[in-house]
């Protein structure tokens, strides 16, 4: 090719064959440049589409390129590609008609199974701490009914918040957002599990526990959930809902509410503020996208103060447990180091609220509650009284 170019620069007359060769080679070079330019454009478009959540797999391989043409309509090719649904959307659409084997997994996600497990555990704690005899069948019905009530409240909550969950990273993969299950199906599951759960509690346990289960569903779905859109008071309402399960366990055992049940409810109520305020601080960007009213967004100083305030309040609440004959005085002593460390983390969060301090407080709160429940169980007053009576005999 250099020889052909030299012929022209030297002014010599070129052979027609050389001219044809030169023309072909220049044309080929132009086509190669156009192809590289097109390939770069498509690759950059792929990156943009991937960032928007649309996965285009091997665009260059799926659409063979005809490089013989002098020009290529890149825009039209990309438009055609964008009309094709992304593979994960096709997969989700095919799953919209759920099989029987997929239903349990979907129902567990609708029920927020981790939160439901916490609710059931605190219900069990309330039953075991009540000063009554252990009846395995009553306990089983109480736990089953509580599970169904919790599943109902969480499912209806997700059904009400579909358009907002789709805006947040932490909730965008929920079944209703991804259209794995239809809203009508989810609502039917939520209402059905709630009706069955309340019926089990009221009919097979006792009316008081059934009433508490029904009130919990109503409070969570008709007050707490809509309040999240317009008032930071939703946090206090949600804490009331979270404090009810141990009382349900207590009433399942003895059929009435005693001071010991109120102490357990107070522990759950106070614990939720350092737990949730730390969580909401670390994901406040998501809550802002969803349009929720949270202390971490609109009242950051109040968010920090409330977390510290209720961490401090756990000390006198735990001290009240032996005063109500719920536990021995060892419970107040055993919980001091645990509550002290929670207060220390809440203080650090109060002084310098950031992602790191919020996460530390949140993660320790997940350990803190099981420790308190364990100390309650170990230092139960009625067990100590029984052992003293046995020694006297």
Asked if the model's pLDDT at residue 19 lies above 60, the reply is no
For residue 363, what are the contacts with CB-CB under 8 A and spacing of at least 6?
A: none
Burial class (CB in 10 A: 0-12, 13-18, 19+), 71: exposed
> For 144-158, 239-253, 371-385, which range has the lowest pLDDT when averaged over its residues?
371-385
Rounded Cα distance between 59 and 48, Å, is 13
Concatenating the DSSP letter of every residue in 293-333 gives: --HHHH-HHHHHHHHHHHHHHHHHHHHHHHHTTSB-HHHHH
Question: What radius of gyration do the chain's Cα atoms show?
Answer: 32
The residue with greater pLDDT, 170 or 205, is: 205
- Which whole-number Å values give the CA distances from 370 to 202, 311, 343, 347, 374, in the listed order? 28, 15, 17, 21, 6
pLDDT tens, 128-168? Answer: 999 988 999 999 999 999 999 999 999 999 999 999 999 99
Rounded Cα distance between 275 and 283, Å, is 13
| Local confidence band at 102 (pLDDT 50, 70, 90 cut-offs) | confident
Rounded Cα distance between 14 and 5, Å, is 10
How much is the pLDDT for 41?
57
| Local confidence band at 386 (pLDDT 50, 70, 90 cut-offs) | low
């Amino acid at each position: 090719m250099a020889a052909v170019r030299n012929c022209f620069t030297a002014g010599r007359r070129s052979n027609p064959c050389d001219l044809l060769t030169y023309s072909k080679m220049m044309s080929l070079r132009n086509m190669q440049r156009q192809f590289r330019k097109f390939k770069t454009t498509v690759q950059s478009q792929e990156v943009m589409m991937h960032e928007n959540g649309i996965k285009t797999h091997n665009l260059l391989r799926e659409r063979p390129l005809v490089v013989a043409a002098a020009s290529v309509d890149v825009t039209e090719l990309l438009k055609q590609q964008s009309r094709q649904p992304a593979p994960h959307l096709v997969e989700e659409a095919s799953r919209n008609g759920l099989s029987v084997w997929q239903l349990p997994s979907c129902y567990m996600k609708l029920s927020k199974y981790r939160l439901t497990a916490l609710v059931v555990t605190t219900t069990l704690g309330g039953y075991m701490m009540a000063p009554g005899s252990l009846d395995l069948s009553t306990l089983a019905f109480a736990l089953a009914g509580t599970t169904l009530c919790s599943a109902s409240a969480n499912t209806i909550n997700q059904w009400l918040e579909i358009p907002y969950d789709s805006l947040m990273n932490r909730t965008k993969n929920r079944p209703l957002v991804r259209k794995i299950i239809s809203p009508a199906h989810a609502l039917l599951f939520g209402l059905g599990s709630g009706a069955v759960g309340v019926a089990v509690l009221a009919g097979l346990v006792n009316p008081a526990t059934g009433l508490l289960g029904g009130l919990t569903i109503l409070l969570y779905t008709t007050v707490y959930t809509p309040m999240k859109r317009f008032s930071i008071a939703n946090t206090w309402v949600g804490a009331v809902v979270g404090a009810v399960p141990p009382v349900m366990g207590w009433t399942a055992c003895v059929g009435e509410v005693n001071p010991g049940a109120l102490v357990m409810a107070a522990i759950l109520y106070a614990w939720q503020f350092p737990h949730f305020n730390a969580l909401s601080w670390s994901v406040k960007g998501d809550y802002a996208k969803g349009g929720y009213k949270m202390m971490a967004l609109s009242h950051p100083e109040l968010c920090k103060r409330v977390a510290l305030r209720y961490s401090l309040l756990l000390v006198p609440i735990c001290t009240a447990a032996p005063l109500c004959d719920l536990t021995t005085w060892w419970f107040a002593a055993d919980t001091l180091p645990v509550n002290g460390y929670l207060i220390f983390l809440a203080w650090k969060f109060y002084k310098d609220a950031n992602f790191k301090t919020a996460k530390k407080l949140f993660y320790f709160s997940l350990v803190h509650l099981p420790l308190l429940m364990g100390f309650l169980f170990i230092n139960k007053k009625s067990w100590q009284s029984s052992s003293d009576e046995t020694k006297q005999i």
